[in-house]
A and B are shown apart, each in its own frame.
Chain A
Amino acid sequence: MGLPLFDAHNDPGPSFFHFAEATGITTPTMAGTAESPHATTVIAVRFNAGVVMVGDRQATGHYIASRDVRKIEPADRFTAIAISGTAARGIEFVKMAQLSFEHYEKMTDSALSLEGKANYLSPIIQRNNLSSPLIVMPLLAGWDSSHLVGRIFEYDGAGGCYERFDFATIGSGSPFAESALRLGFRTDLDREAALELGALALYEAGDNDPSTGGPDFVRNLFPMMVTITDEGFQELSTDEVGARFRAINDRRTQSGGVAGGTLR
């Protein structure tokens, strides 16, 4: 690629996505029926000082393609993006989002607002999903530094962006996770309670949805758990997550495989 110079009226501005399309860096989406790994459960729960996100690690095709996929990634210091749907498209989408936010910051010397980031992704999702069966469904959560609050944005298949004030889920395990979240969510959750609720919801999804990987004690692989607060994106250690899921597992064992009358 040579030096990308544009006339003032053709200039793509600070948007990397539009620049990439104008110069052919990204290939246009085409219809196809390729089989590719997909399915997921990722959960975002809002609490009094930010957002907790929990995501499973399994990539599923006709068989388990991978057990240690990272479906939640930091888009920048205060924003996380989770993906479900086609893995290939999802990974490209995360890369595009990460780069776009940074690109905007470098071009304009100011960072995008969290809402700006959420809206920016809409047409990218729309363009992918309406022209290809290789659907990607993301979830955006972050710490809003100008309003000092954690915020969650979910999308529909056509790219519609909706803010959620309680919790959001994506992926095939959503119905099961959502049921647990609806029973356990309170508006005054603190970090610890939100982590516990998120872990329980993911445990439910992993227990019921064949395409969602629950805790894997044999391989010591556990769902990803992250918090996004005024301290930024922080990922919990494997030990910490492992202990949390082991505790849930032990309780379920004691009560014969079910929660046993209370959400625990």
Chain B
Amino acid sequence: MSNYFYVAPEQLIRDRAEFAQKGIARGRSLVGAIYDTGVLLVAENPSASLNKISEVYDRIAFAGVGKYNEFDRLREAGIRWADGTGFTYSREDVDARALANYYAQHLGDMFTEGQKPLEVEILVAQLGGKIRPTKLYRIAYEGTITDETRYAVLGGDAETIKGRFATSEEQIHPLGQTLKNAVEALAGPDRKIDVTDLEVGILEDRGNRRTFVRLTDAEVSELLS
């Protein structure tokens, strides 16, 4: 019979939280913000193919930071959940709140019961329409779900970046201005992020059922100029 050393639950939770935070802090951060006609997601991402931002459904997008394989698995699960729900019921029954809750439950379970907590933080964004409001749900590594009113910052340096972004985003701006503010907040005062190191996606009504669009480097450059 093996011996288990007693570890106080407070200590266990602290250790796990510290472990997850460390993992998340290793990666670059991400900003999600509501602008006048849509939702902007912008991540600092040197890879052009390993995405942090993704389409989930007609009006829902996903963004994740931290360990790529872990949040990508959650992204895939989200797409499957959304397509499965839309197939079983109707496209209009696919709601970001329900998805955010499932994510929160899973992350919470992994945090307390898993071999190790997931080293990720994710954002579920929903573009409002006739039947649902525009929403940003931020879900932390331990399952805490936050309904952010106008913007959310995920990643290691989130508090600092959020502080910078908050000063420039006192009101809702058009896409170009919001993107500029977000990129400046991500970069900080003495750094400039190259356009090729940015991943940008938006949810916006353009007359199509699917509202998610990935912006190309050229489009991002033009918006930032």
**Cβ contact within 8 Å between B84 and A4:** yes
Expressed in whole angstroms, the Cα–Cα distance for A216 and B29 within the complex equals: 61
Residues in A5-63 with C-beta less than 8 Å from chain B:
5, 16, 19-20, 23, 25
- Is A95 at the interface (CB under 8 A from chain B)? yes
Residue of A nearest to B86 (CB): A99
Residues from chain B with Cβ under 8 Å of A103 in the complex = 79-80, 83
Dominant secondary structure of chain A at its interface with chain B: helix
The answer on a CB contact under 8 Å between B87 and A4 is no
B77-A23 in contact (CB<8A)? no
Q: Is B92 an interface residue (CB 8 A)?
A: no
The verdict on A218 contacting chain B, using a C-beta distance below 8 Å, is no
Proximity string of chain B (104-115) to chain A, C-beta cutoff 8 Å, 1 when within and 0 when not: 011000000000
Contacts of A99 in B (CB 8 A): 83, 86-87
Q: What separation, in Å, do the CA atoms of A166 and B99 have in the docked complex?
A: 47
Tell me, rounded to whole Å, the shortest Cβ–Cβ distance linking B215 to chain A. Answer: 14
B102 contacts chain A at the CB level, 8 A cutoff? yes
Given A103-B79, A107-B76, verify A3-B54 contact (CB < 8 Å).
no
Chain B residue contacts of A107, Cβ below 8 A: 76, 79
B177 proximal to A (CB < 8 A): no
- Given A3-B77, A4-B80, A106-B55: A25 touches B87 (CB 8 Å cut-off): yes
Decide: A20 near B87, CB < 8 A? Known: A3-B81, A3-B106: yes
Does the CB pair A25–B55 fall under 8 Å? no
Compute how far the CA of A19 lies from the CA of B49 in the bound complex, rounded to whole angstroms: 24
Interface residues of B in 143-197 (CB under 8 A from A): none
B74-100 interface with A by 8 A CB criterion: 76-81, 83-88
* A109 on the B face (CB < 8 A): yes
Interface status of B56 (Cβ within 8 A of chain A) = yes
Q: In the assembled complex, how far is the CB of residue A92 from the closest CB belonging to chain B, in whole angstroms?
A: 10
Collect the chain A residues with CB atoms within 8 Å of residue B86's CB: 99
**Nearest Cβ distance between residue B139 and chain A, in whole angstroms?**
12
Q: Indicate whether A1 sits within 8 Å of B84 (C-beta atoms), given known contacts A106-B56, A106-B79.
A: yes
Residue of B nearest to A92 (CB): B87
Contacts of A257 in B (CB 8 A): none
Report whether B87 and A95 are in contact in the complex, using a CB–CB cutoff of 8 Å. yes
Jot down 21 A-B pairs with beta carbons below 8 A, ordered by A. Answer: A1-B84, A1-B85, A2-B81, A3-B78, A3-B81, A3-B103, A3-B105, A4-B77, A4-B81, A5-B73, A5-B77, A16-B87, A19-B83, A20-B84, A20-B87, A25-B84, A25-B88, A99-B86, A102-B210, A106-B54, A109-B49
Interface residues of A (CB under 8 A from B): 1-5, 16, 19-20, 23, 25, 95-96, 99, 102-103, 106-107, 109
Contacts beyond the supplied A5-B73, A16-B87: 13 A-B pairs with Cβ under 8 Å: A1-B81, A1-B85, A4-B77, A4-B81, A5-B77, A23-B84, A25-B88, A99-B83, A99-B86, A102-B83, A106-B54, A106-B55, A106-B56
> Closest 3 A-B residue pairs measured CB to CB?
A3-B102, A4-B80, A106-B79
Give B contacts to A, CB under 8 Å.
Answer: 49, 51, 54-56, 73, 76-81, 83-88, 102-103, 105-106, 210
